Amino acid sequence: MRSTDTGQRPYQMRMRAANLAGVAARVATKTRIWAADMECQQEEQYPKAKRKRPSGAQYRKRRKEEEERRRREAILKYLESSSTANEVPSTSSSGVPVCSESLDEMMHRPAASYSADGNTRLTTDSTLPVYSDVTETSSPVLPVEVKTDEPSAADPADWPSYLGDTVRTVVVGRGPYQWQQEKGEYSKMKIKRPSGAQYRKRRKQEEERHTKHREAILKYLVSSSTTDEVPSAASSYVPFCSAPEISSSAFPVEMQTDEPCPVDPADWPSPLTDIVRTELVRRGPYQVPPDFVFPKRDGARSCQHLYFFRTLKNGEKIKRNWLTYSNKNNSLFCFCCKLFSTKSIHLINGLTDWKNATTLLNSHDHSPDHLKYLASWKEFELQLKAAETVVKREMAIVQEEKRWRAVLARLIAIVQSLAVRNMALRGDTEKLYCPSNGNFLKEVELLAQFDPIMKDHVHRVKSEYSHLSYLGKHIQNELVECIGAKVVATVVQEIKQSKYFSLILGCTPDVNHTEHLSVLIRIVTLGEDPQVKEHFMGFLEADEFTGQSLATLILQRLDDWQISFDDCRGQSYDNGANMRGKSQGVQATLLQKNPRAFFVPCGAHTLNLVVADAAKSSNDAMGFLGVLQKLFSLFSGSRHRWAILAKHVTITLKMSSETRLENRVEALKPLRYEMSGVREALLEVRGQTKDPVIKVEAQFLAEEVGSFRFLLCTVIWYDILNKIQHVSKVLQSETLQVNVAVSLLEAEIALQNYRATGFVAAQSSAKDMCEEMNVEEVLTLKRLRSTDRLSSYESPDEPEHDALKNLEVNFFNMVVDSAIFAVKERFQTLGDVEKKFGILSSFQSLPHQEMIEQAEALGHALSCGGQSDLDGRELAQELKNLPDLPSQTMTALELLKFIQAKQLSEIYPNLWVALRIVVTLPVTVASVERSFSKSNLIKTYLRSTMCQERLSSLAVMSINPDVVGRISCDDVIEDLVGGCQR
């Protein structure tokens, strides 16, 4: 873990715990060696009792139970794969007979016999052989009898020439046999090694299991460290910490043994194992209560409490801690001799001679063997207490680490929540419970009111009990960077699984006038339901803006992510010269390295340029847009004038934008439908204002918006922009495909039809507006400026005396013709890309020979340097053999989903690859524009000092919230601990 304060590092604490565990291991090892040596000395004289093996009946019983368990598991596995839970269907939908035995009937069927080769299992009748559930568990097994006269062997070479319905049902349900390595033979199936993520996941699960076991034994040892607590004698599980287990990473839990560990020494097993001996030493001898009344034997003699004390020469009495009483046999035992000695004496077998008990006890006090065993017992007891101290310390370290992980998990959740909502983390101060300490600390304070873990952490920080807080600005930056890096790593893993991808790039400056390159990658997921995803990968700071430098920057970042650029199949940018330049642009540089990375210009941006070209084609069009801007400036310059406008209209004026087509349509809407209200507002402003400049401007605008020319231009512009806006809206979808985008270019045909009839319809609408405002429908001809003739043979242009005709020629025709020409020219590149993949959308109506030619052309386009994505002739054959589709007008994405749902990728591999590539191609860079909007929300004027890494990480979390939700807090904590520098 990381910390902004001083203090002991968690990993140092773990190292100290490991050292303490090693000390305990060495202590336990020494004890075991000593006990083994002591037992070896007495082995010849007192051999150990042999372990009792199960009898033949017990062995057969266990074997039968094991066979029944395996059989039940096989039956349940088959029933779970079928449509019902407790009964196999009697007949299929096609009338194929199948077995209909219940689970109980299957369980009581006679056991199966195995064939000579050992690979198949045959029932008692002439039933179908199925795989043995002992050697084969990977393929589905049908553990029921299916009556048939036709065999169904595992080897397909043994199948009959004609397969019956029953045999076919069994074979399909079982699936193809997968060869595996058995009896020293080499596997014919390639072993799939786990990926890095799978390996880390398995290692994490193993560590969690070890930690769980370790915490269980530590908790047990801590809770049962007192000598008064004795486990139940009925339990057959005895916890013990031997030397190998303590030194390992996982502490043992509940080691199974057949020997009980009772309290009464008369019930102790013989011989004593290390596990039982260690548990008895840890527990200590049983102490008789002072008020206990000993039972009397024949002769009115009984055990006395004075036997448990030894009287010294000076009259002092010391307690015989080694002496223990057996309530079962009414006898005395020497605890240490019973543990370690193998001799047969009174105090080992039980002292019941109460007449000579005092003499025997005094004699035993001075016995050399007793003194040796007593010293061994005390030493062993001290060693166990030292080991328990180590265990307690490590338990405290484990609990402390668990607490910090819980705190960090909550802090990570707070950072994710704030980052997804584009909210600032820090404030003016970094102290808790201050008014301006920022959103991060406010979230901590709010969580502390309801969460006990965070409440305890906040209490520790406030009371200065802990020098570590993990609430400072540095840990916030590290958390942001770790989460952002984890999101990018998750996306990179998904990109590698999808194989093919496309690049979407765009540049924009921030509030500090620093140019940022926004990087997005478009993929198609390979699942049951393929989805198009555009993942934001971050902002790159660009020092130079040439096409070569930007291309080098993106290639370097792809190398850092370990993503092969050879798998790139598309690239899309805006229409800037440094991005789409044919010679030195980014797309040209990347095409030189990978010719299969097709360049697709942004359709929505291109459509905006079409409108810009049309607006610049006519002076009347530019003049109209200038008046529109003046109207907005006049009313928005004063709150009083804006209130006057709001009083007369319901749709307020909008500022016209040069880059966003939607804003232009919204700016024209109040003039198109509420022109009379706008004119009334202008007249009221003219009457109320005392500023001569505003008065003159309002007078001019009132006369202009009331003219027939302005009304006619308003209707024409609104109709043109409204027709283009619908296409622009569709082109901004991230799931849009190339063939659909090209079909939307029928706007060219719509513009041609509008050129033929649009001007007459506009006149009719303009006349209606004139009647509503009560103005004359007069169109005056503006004076033409004369120009000097260049040569004597040139004659001046013949002026158009008809004002209406002049407006149609110089405004309407020029604007519409310019838009039609721009559509043809600017969408040519998109059309060329669509022609290469056109076979995938029109193969149903193509002749066979033309289909082959287009398929071979597509295969050639997807080939480079001796490598090819598909085979053209095979693609044509697959398209020819494709089954009937649900619809005749399916898009490439819908066809890909159909193939995935029907699991036809193995039958039509070339078509499957071609569809993935064409769906991967981007059509718009709208997602890049959205990332610019996120950047403006994150890096505001008040947060302008934000560094590049922090901006990129916050943007990654904000734009990819679905990926953030899939990230595990434990993985982020591991990355945070692994990258700790302090």
Q: Which residue has the tokens 């995938």?
A: 840
Q: Which of 440, 471, 502 is the last residue of a domain?
A: 471
Domain identity same for 815 and 750 = yes
Instruction: Tell me 532's DSSP state.
Output: E
Domain identity same for 533 and 672 = no
Q: Are strands 120-122 and 323-326 parallel, antiparallel or unpaired?
A: unpaired
DSSP E strands: which ranges in 724-782? Answer: none
Beta partners for 776?
none
Instruction: Tell me 110's DSSP state.
Output: P
Specify the pLDDT at position 454.
92
3-class secondary structure, 868: strand
Helix boundaries (H) for 421-539: 438-448, 452-462, 473-498
Please give the Cα distance from 500 to 567 (Å, whole number).
5
Could you tell me if residue 150 is left (phi over 0), alpha (psi between -120 and 50 degrees) or otherwise beta? beta
Specify the pLDDT at position 830.
80
Specify the pLDDT at position 299.
67
- Residues 201-207: contacts with CB within 8 Å, 24+ apart? 204/970, 204/974, 207/249
Domain identity same for 723 and 576 = no
Q: Does 103 reside within a domain?
A: no
Helix axes 708-731, 661-673, angle to 10 degrees: 140
520 φ/ψ angles, rounded to the nearest 5 degrees: -125, 145
The whole-number mean pLDDT for each consecutive block of 10 residues of the chain, a chain of 982 residues, reads 45 60 63 59 47 73 81 67 43 39 46 39 37 36 40 67 70 66 42 72 79 61 43 33 33 40 84 85 87 81 89 88 89 90 83 88 89 90 85 86 92 93 88 89 93 91 80 90 93 93 88 87 89 92 85 92 92 84 87 90 79 80 85 89 90 74 76 88 90 90 88 87 78 77 68 82 87 79 54 53 78 84 78 85 86 90 88 90 83 89 90 92 87 88 86 92 90 81 47
Q: How many C-beta neighbours within 10 Å does residue 678 have?
A: 23
Please give the Cα distance from 494 to 967 (Å, whole number).
13
Q: Does 21 reside within a domain?
A: no
Please give the Cα distance from 982 to 970 (Å, whole number).
20
- What the block records as the tokens of 148 is 């048939």
- What the block records as the tokens of 85 is 């839970």
- Residue partners of 25: CB distance under 8 A and separation at least 6: 243, 244, 246, 247
Domain identity same for 812 and 688 = yes
pTM, rounded to two decimals: 0.65
Q: Does 46 reside within a domain?
A: no
Q: Does 256 reside within a domain?
A: no
Please give the Cα distance from 912 to 893 (Å, whole number).
11
Q: Which of 423, 453, 471 is the last residue of a domain?
A: 471
CB-count exposure of residue 137 (10 Å: 0-12, 13-18, 19+):
middle
- What the block records as the tokens of 836 is 């290469």
- What the block records as the tokens of 909 is 């591999």
Q: Does 856 reside within a domain?
A: yes
- H/E stretch holding 535 reads strand 532-541
Beta partners for 867?
864
Closest listed residue to residue 703, CA positions, set 734, 682, 718, 729: 682
Q: How many C-beta neighbours within 10 Å does residue 851 have?
A: 20
Q: Is 825 in contact with 747 (CB distance < 8 Å)?
A: no
Please give the Cα distance from 518 to 538 (Å, whole number).
6
Q: Got the DSSP string for 26-86?
A: HHHHHHHHHHHHHHHHTTTTSPPPPPPPP-HHHHHHHHHHHHHHHHHHHHHHHHHHSSSSS
Helix boundaries (H) for 463-568: 473-498, 547-560
Q: Does 524 reside within a domain?
A: yes
Domain identity same for 326 and 417 = no
Specify the pLDDT at position 3.
42
Q: Does 677 reside within a domain?
A: yes
Show the 3-state SS of 83-135. Answer: CCCCECCCECCCCCECCCCEHHHHHCCCCCEECCCCCEEECCCCECCEECCCC
- H/E stretch holding 346 reads helix 346-349
Could you tell me if residue 477 is left (phi over 0), alpha (psi between -120 and 50 degrees) or otherwise beta? alpha
Please give the Cα distance from 377 to 371 (Å, whole number).
10
Show the 3-state SS of 693-719. Answer: HHHHHHHHHHHHHCCHHHHHHHHHHHH
Q: Got the DSSP string for 262-287?
A: -SSGGG--SSPPHHHHHHHHHH-PPP
Please give the Cα distance from 980 to 1 (Å, whole number).
7
Please give the Cα distance from 788 to 786 (Å, whole number).
7
Q: Is 222 in contact with 395 (CB distance < 8 Å)?
A: yes
Q: How far is CA 252 from CA 256, 279, 590, 613, 734, in A?
A: 11, 14, 59, 79, 55
- What the block records as the tokens of 113 is 């016999």
Please tell me the chain's helix, strand, coil percentages from 3-state DSSP, rounded to the nearest 5.
55, 10, 35
Q: Which of 471, 496, 530 is the last residue of a domain?
A: 471
Please give the Cα distance from 138 to 180 (Å, whole number).
10
Q: Which domain holds residue 865?
A: 846-920
84-103 pLDDT tens trace: 434 434 433 333 334 444 44
Domain identity same for 522 and 504 = yes
Instruction: Tell me 744's DSSP state.
Output: G
- Residue partners of 749: CB distance under 8 A and separation at least 6: none
Q: Which residue has the tokens 């920022």?
A: 438
Please give the Cα distance from 686 to 35 (Å, whole number).
112
Q: Are strands 501-509 and 568-572 parallel, antiparallel or unpaired?
A: parallel
Domain identity same for 641 and 574 = no
Domain identity same for 667 and 745 = yes
- By residue count, the chain amounts to 982
Q: Does 279 reside within a domain?
A: yes
Number of domains present in the structure of the chain: 5
Q: Is 326 in contact with 333 (CB distance < 8 Å)?
A: yes
Q: Got the DSSP string for 5-19?
A: S-S--HHHHHHHHHH
CB-count exposure of residue 176 (10 Å: 0-12, 13-18, 19+):
exposed
Domain identity same for 644 and 741 = yes
Q: How many C-beta neighbours within 10 Å does residue 759 have?
A: 19
Domain identity same for 635 and 700 = yes
Please give the Cα distance from 158 to 163 (Å, whole number).
11
Domain identity same for 818 and 906 = no
Domain identity same for 687 and 811 = yes
Q: Are strands 598-599 and 568-572 parallel, antiparallel or unpaired?
A: parallel
3-class secondary structure, 204: helix
